[in-house]
Amino acid sequence: MSVLQLFYGLLASAAAAMAANLFVKGRLRPQGTGAGKTVFSASVGLCLSGFVFGSILMLCGSPVCAAVLTGIAVSALAVASNAKYAVLYEPLVFSDLFLLKYFIRHPCFYIFAISPVLRVGIATGLIIMLTLLVMAMAHASLAGHVAGLMLAALFFVILLFFPVERMAPVPDVERDIVRFGLGGCLFIYWRRWRRQSRELLPPAHMEPLPAQPGEVIVIVQCESFADPQTLALHRNAVIPPMSGLEQARARASQYGSLNVSGFGAYTLRTEYAVLSGKTEEELGFRRFDPFLTALQNADQSLPSLLGRAGFRTVYMHPYDLHFGDRITVMPGMGFSETMGCESFGSAGSETSVYVNDRELADKILYKISKNSDPLFLYAVSIENHGPWNGKGDPVACYLSHLENSDAMIGQLIEGLDQCQRPARLIVLGDHRPSIPGATSPEAGRDTPYVVVDFPSDQVVPVRSDIPPEALFRLALNRESVGNFISDVRSDLGSSGNSKL
């Protein structure tokens, strides 16, 4: 092995990384970027490809094999990012790498989004990479392994000295993928997240109203729940009447559109916003998966605050609570009781592998009936999670499950009417569905929400379009919405849009 071979290997690795970045979707070309600044920004990705080349060379001992495997790795990263963008309209971000363990444990959540061709390509690529690695290791000299170790160490040290705070002061994925390359963006964002994750978020400076005797607060976060009239579906789609949603809007103290950031996924982002009241600006680089650092400021979360105000706090999700580490996060945030899939009898229906939303409504009302003390219950539905493959028409399948979600709203309103206890019901959609060829964020990302108070006197519903973190305050302060909607608007600034 010669120095020239190492040089050519590094050069080929860098060229492969630069070429792969040109095909990454979701890139936004920055304006007015100087040549010197562009070279400096691109150097992050080049150093990262050098580190990968050195690491693989350390394993295989062959510069040729290391260059080929590096090229395959950076190409696979670009393909994975584009596959994600095709479904969720967001490039790969560093926190997606933490989801690999969930991909293994819950493949049904992800496998439907990967085309059969891509699945074959992934399997073929893995076989090729392992074959090349084994063949190279069998014939490599010790010098190749040592050279790889030295290169990996050198580029690792160089990467540590990049001023990541100045290079990416705030998240801007579409811009930064162009500036740093996909790999460089993943690395810098991970570094920024690591440093921010050690910092405490600003306190809420809010205390809830004391619990009234027998008071109930129910928040239902409904999977892929959207008003079908806003989805711009094809003309042949049979739109359900959504009588439950319309009934809730007619009786609501407040309703409107929830301005969620995700599309087709990232339930956890919406969930954390409601439970913490934190904006994406406050979260910074933690916004991509806030559950990774959810136990910070846990004493300022909604269940903790309401628990101190006298409420029994219950979290309900008819799925494996290990997903998103809810089994640890929810008790840590202040829920005194957590109910997962083991608390539900059925395992879905012919068109869905998940628990029916009507059954979830029954379980919520049963829990309320068995608790006479003040109760805060946060439920996350699962029925309308993809894949939507019933009867061969994903849109019809989605809409059929949406009808069950809508019926759940009607069930909850009827049940809370009958229990005759002071109550506030908040229902929200976590994100819109991603059905390739049928839905896209061009029609919007917002989802509906409603706030219904019981007993419900004659009210004039307030229409207000808000971000999900605004629901945190609506759960804390159960006074008449009309009395403090102006305060919510002033806190949110221009992000709120209200009208009567």
How does pLDDT run across 23-48, given as a tens digit for each residue? Answer: 887 655 444 444 444 666 778 888 99
| pLDDT > 90? residue 10 | no
CA dihedral 205, 209, 214, 216 (to 10 degrees): -50
Q: How far apart are CA 42 and CA 178, in angstroms?
A: 9
With a cut of 70, say whether residue 155 has pLDDT above it.
Answer: yes
Domain at 216-479, CATH from 3.40.720.10, 3.40.1190.20, 3.40.50.300, 3.30.930.10: 3.40.720.10
* Residue 391: predicted pLDDT: 62
Q: Stretch 466-474: mean pLDDT, rounded?
A: 96
**pLDDT tens digits, 419-438:** 999 999 999 999 999 998 89
pLDDT tops 50 at residue 232: yes
The whole-number pLDDT of residue 495 equals 43
- Alpha carbon distance 446, 235 (integer Å): 21
Q: Is the pLDDT of residue 111 over 80?
A: no
**What pLDDT score was predicted for residue 417?**
94
484/451 Cα distance (integer angstroms)? 14
Residue 94, pLDDT > 90, answer yes
Structural domain boundaries of the chain?
Answer: 3-197, 216-479
DSSP H helices in 316-356:
326-333
In whole angstroms, give the CA distance from residue 112 to residue 395.
15
Mean pLDDT value across residues 285-310: 94
Task: Please give the pLDDT value at position 109.
Answer: 64
DSSP E strands in 185-294: the ranges are 216-222, 254-258
Q: Does residue 112 surpass a pLDDT of 80?
A: no
What pLDDT score does 108 carry? 67
Over range 213-232, report the average pLDDT.
96
Mean pLDDT across the chain = 87
356-395 pLDDT tens trace: 999 999 999 999 999 999 999 999 999 998 888 766 789 9
Whether 91 and 84 have beta carbons less than 8 Å apart is answered as yes
Ordered strands of the 497-499 beta sheet: 337-339, 312-316, 375-380, 216-222, 423-429, 447-454, 254-258, 462-465, 497-499
- Judged against a pLDDT cut of 50, whether residue 286 lies above it is answered with yes
Q: Which of 56-65, 227-236, 469-478, 481-490 has the lowest mean pLDDT?
A: 481-490
Question: Which residues on adjacent β-strands are paired with residue 499?
Answer: 463
Q: What is the mean pLDDT of residues 264-291?
A: 95
Which pLDDT score is estimated for 33? 46
Whether the pLDDT of residue 279 is over 50: the answer is yes
- pTM of the predicted model as reported, rounded to 2 decimal places: 0.88
